[in-house]
Structure 1
Amino acid sequence: MINKIKNDILTPSQFIFTVLGTMLGLGILSLPNTLVKISQQDSWISTALGAVYPLYISLICIYVSKKYPNHNILFLSKKYFGNFLGSILNLLFLIQFTIYSFGVSSGYTNLTRVFTAEFLTPLKLIIVITTVCLYTASKGIQVIGKMCEIIFYITLPLIFLPLFALNKSSILNLLPIFGSGLSNILKGSIETVFSYTGIEVLFLIYPYINDKNKIKISSLKAVSLTAFIYIWIIFITIYYFSLDVTSKSLWPFLSASEIIDIPLINNFRYLFVLSWSFIILKTITIQYFIVVTILKDFMKKTNPKKIYFFIYPILICLPLFFTNEVMRRNFFGKVIPLTVIFSIIYVSSIALLVRIKG
């Protein structure tokens, strides 16, 4: 059971933006590049269909939370599978979020070195990223929730700024609709599913919300808002750059920022990368918090500060193996599908046992 103290509660609004923060981060900057190679101009449709995954996860969470509003999945896993098997499943859940965390931190390091700080070594960047995010994570879920809410509103203009340059391209880049074929649209939707990973955080943070009656609506709002932003970014990127340019750029949505012409700002892309950094660092912070939360369940008698010090060097070393962006994407392209399959089986099994055993 979650023992909530003053800094361990989330308002429904903070809950929404925390959940959104786990899904919206680094991946959206590169997703158009991968997706247009599969579903072409219909990639935005694939993105909408891919939202079925976070919707399914959220519906399962809503059902489980009605039965156990104050217990997270770590408790339920041991309750229904027993201490031994439950602990193994929780360990796999821990590995999953550890993979997410160093995947994002290594990708962010690669992005930063290309666009803003090529003079810094990967090690120096990763040390800074890990230190800042781990320290913030140690402040508790309420601080994280407030941070996610503030960052969302501050960075929201970045997502919709392309609206002011619509006349610089043509809607023909998105035509014909359904021209890629139904099979390619469905294949693209599977690829999009992997970009929605992070939604699994729901099963660990719903006990923190201070109004349990708002778990359902807040979860659905988080999924809907995330899906809308993903669809918009895919749509506008293809609108501006067509399939050819989008498929050749590793970070196509970043390239879209170059179209924006703001007086007195010579290099808007540089400003865009710095601003988007807040979104990515927020994602890493949430993932670190989840990693520590799961570790606390395994190390109940250990001082939480010792856990942070224990994982600090690990979180620095792991991203160093993925400083090549192409290699990083190839690796996670093989691993993330496995984590998605595990998540579906894991949470579905919990829900089924809750249904059967009550």
Structure 2
Amino acid sequence: MNRDTITRYQYMFIIVGTMIGIGIGFLGSSGAAVAHQDSWITTLISGIYPLIIVITAYIIDKKANHDDFWIILKKVYGKLIGFIILLIFLMYFLTIMSSVVAGFSNNLTQTISSFLSPYRIIIPCLLVSTVITMSGLNTVGRISEFYFYLTIVFILPLLFLIPEGTILNIQPVFHSPKEIPRGMLENLTQYSLVEISFIIISKISNRKHVLRAGIIACTITTVIYTFVSFVVIYYLGWELASRIDFPLFYMIGTISFPIFSNLTSIFIFFWGLIVLKTIVCCNYMVSYCISSFSGLSDKTSAMISSCIVLVYSYFMISEHNRLDIVDFYLKYFILFSLVFGIMTAILVQVRYRSKKNEKI
């Protein structure tokens, strides 16, 4: 198989892997501050967003005869507007990648490695992600497939917390229906990076049941996120959850196993591996964007992207700055992504039909 070709299963695992990353540690915090005990419901409803993205990505890919994303942009919007759109995607993936790298280093320095400077964590992460990205999308797909099963193991300890919670923490259900839309806006950002489907869907080798694979990926992510958010509220209550930056790690710290003396450290280690996979996926997307409009090789683009992220992440080492930058970009990009997906799904039928008529 070509190094930049993936199976539909790898496509599914990449989509799940990009969405489930550093954000899983924040689940139940920001949403609880707005929607209170209904925050887990807002997480569930917000799962509509990734569904819309993968469906529109499928329509675009099908109508465009599986052309490369950059070619589609030029054919549908022209070179100038297509370049601007690709640049927006580049800035988005750069921002998310830098945020994930900086957020990961911040979390480690606050928990188990306070003796390390952030860049002693950031630089090795970027080096590893660059090497993997240079190997091609197929390698990224294989890694995403492996880490999917690791993610399942990662959330299993939460089952031990359910008997310790109380149903009073999630009652009454729909207590604040007016706040649910606001809570959805907070939780939509957790589903970011699903937009990767626009770019990688054309690289699938087996076209059978591609749409189903995308929908299954979104469903799996929504179920995992809703489960984690529910357990956070059920166990901690929305008041406490809204005051904690990383509710998931806080809860894991309360679990005691006779075999393990420090379960939190083990948990963060596995979480770090999952986050590294997200960094790899982001690195591939950034490299793709740079390579598309510059004409540079994939390997050169991968090295350039890591160098840019190394500088960009400096401005996000402060957690306050990181959250401000990400919130600004994400909320606008999610709206842009929805408009882009729906509009392109409509325009691509017109543009490619006219191209076909010209050939006739």
TM-score exceeds 0.5: yes
CA distance in 2, matches of 1:206, 1:39: 35
CA distance in 2, matches of 1:60, 1:305: 30
- CA-based RMSD of the aligned residues comes to 1.4
TM-fit CA distance, 1:187: 1.1
TM-fit CA distance, 1:347: 2.1
Counterpart secondary structure, 2:104? helix
Tell whether the 8 Å contact from 2:257 to 2:263 is kept in structure 1 after alignment: yes
CA distance in 1, matches of 2:321, 2:172: 34
Corresponding position: 1:204 with 2:194: no
Counterpart secondary structure, 1:31? coil
Corresponding position: 1:267 with 2:271: no
Q: Which runs of 4+ in 1 moved over 4 A?
A: none
CA distance in 2, matches of 1:233, 1:6: 37
Query: What does residue 312 of structure 1 align with?
Result: 306
Q: Report matched runs for 1:114-193 at 5 Å.
A: 114-179=110-175, 181-193=176-188
Match of 1:334 among 303, 328, 334: 328
| Residue identity in the other structure for 1:245 | L
Q: Report matched runs for 1:1-358 at 5 Å.
A: 6-179=2-175, 181-300=176-295, 302-357=296-351, 358=353
Distance 1:305 1:354, change over 3 A: closer
Give the % identical residues. Answer: 27
CA distance in 1, matches of 2:66, 2:139: 20
Tell whether the 8 Å contact from 2:17 to 2:147 is kept in structure 1 after alignment: no
| Residue identity in the other structure for 1:276 | W
| Residue identity in the other structure for 2:222 | A
Counterpart secondary structure, 2:239? helix
Tell whether the 8 Å contact from 1:122 to 1:320 is kept in structure 2 after alignment: no
Q: Deviation per CA, 1:54-105: give whole Å up to 9, x if none.
A: 1111111121122124213321110011112211111111111111110111
Counterpart secondary structure, 1:81? helix
TM-score by length of 2: 0.94
TM-fit CA distance, 1:303: 3.1
Between 303-312 and 197-206, the greater mean CA deviation after superposition: 303-312
Between 54-63 and 152-161, the greater mean CA deviation after superposition: 152-161
Between 149-158 and 201-210, the greater mean CA deviation after superposition: 149-158
CA distance in 2, matches of 1:307, 1:155: 29
Counterpart secondary structure, 2:66? coil
CA distance in 2, matches of 1:115, 1:216: 40
| Residue identity in the other structure for 1:145 | G
Counterpart secondary structure, 1:18? helix
Tell whether the 8 Å contact from 2:17 to 2:278 is kept in structure 1 after alignment: yes
| Residue identity in the other structure for 2:327 | G
CA distance in 2, matches of 1:348, 1:314: 31
| Residue identity in the other structure for 1:308 | A
TM-score by length of 1: 0.95
Counterpart secondary structure, 1:134? helix
Query: What does residue 356 of structure 2 align with?
Result: none
Tell whether the 8 Å contact from 1:137 to 1:289 is kept in structure 2 after alignment: yes
| Residue identity in the other structure for 2:204 | I
For this pair of structures, how many residues does the alignment match? 352
Gaps of 5+ in 2: 354-360
Tell whether the 8 Å contact from 2:122 to 2:310 is kept in structure 1 after alignment: yes
CA distance in 1, matches of 2:120, 2:332: 31
